[in-house]
Amino acid sequence: MDSKTYKVVGSVSDWQTWCDMANPAAAAACDWVELRVDALPADVTVEQLLAGPRPVCPVLLTVRHASEGGCRDMGEAERMALAMKLLPLATAIDWETAQLEHAQELVAAAKAAGVQVIASNHDFEKTPNLATLQQREALARSLGADVVKFAYRLHSAEDMMVGVQLLRQAAGPMAVMGMGALGAVSRLLYVQHGSCLIYGYLGDTPTAPGQWAAALCKTALASTAVPM
């Protein structure tokens, strides 16, 4: 992924919306669709996902860990097995930096299949300081991340500027987004400073606090000079 471009990622957390993404009109709301496997009903099987309707846009596969906002508490063996089986759907896969050291088999399989690895970091309480974020970036890249993603709660304008500094000094492609009351405006700001992914939701349910609807992200960004 070129760090000078961005993608609008539409996050899906229900089966019907996932099926709808096979329709080009629905898929026009985003550039990539994120399949939040952990947020789907537990009775949706891997076989259904592999045999069912496929989105017409690239797929970002996420099986989020419960400690970083996952909707389903599952063991690492189960989570890893799901990710490996669903890898054929993916253009990119999201895995938490904190868990990445123990997911090197998945990283290797993704790279062999030409699937990008996004290493994600979430803090739902606060904005970590710049040095801490940079240490996490370095760790993620050392473990095979192609893109490093940060999502953290903002409490002030000063918090928001931490992300700007982080993007300016990034060692490679990076996505940054804020959560909470300032989250929506921060997502647009960070794209202006080089964030390569901006997440919005598809369907009726946001998958993170401060998230815009994906179509609204596209509309807002279309009026800026940010390159696609």
Q: Which residues are catalytic?
A: 122, 149
Residue 129 falls in which region: left (phi positive, over 0), alpha (psi -120 to 50) or beta: beta
**What are the φ and ψ backbone dihedral angles of 95, each rounded to 5 degrees?**
-140, 145
For residues 138 and 53, give the distance between their C-alpha atoms in angstroms, rounded to a whole number: 38
- Report the alpha-carbon angle 211-59-87, nearest 5: 125
For residues 124 and 69, give the distance between their C-alpha atoms in angstroms, rounded to a whole number: 8
The counts of H helices and E strands in the chain are 10, 9
Nearest in space to 18 (alpha carbons), one of 30, 1, 6, 4: 30
Q: Which residues contact 202 (CB under 8 A, 6 or more apart)?
A: 10, 11, 12, 17, 21, 26, 29, 30, 33, 213, 214
For residues 117 and 93, give the distance between their C-alpha atoms in angstroms, rounded to a whole number: 5
The 10 Å Cβ neighbour count of residue 26 is: 20
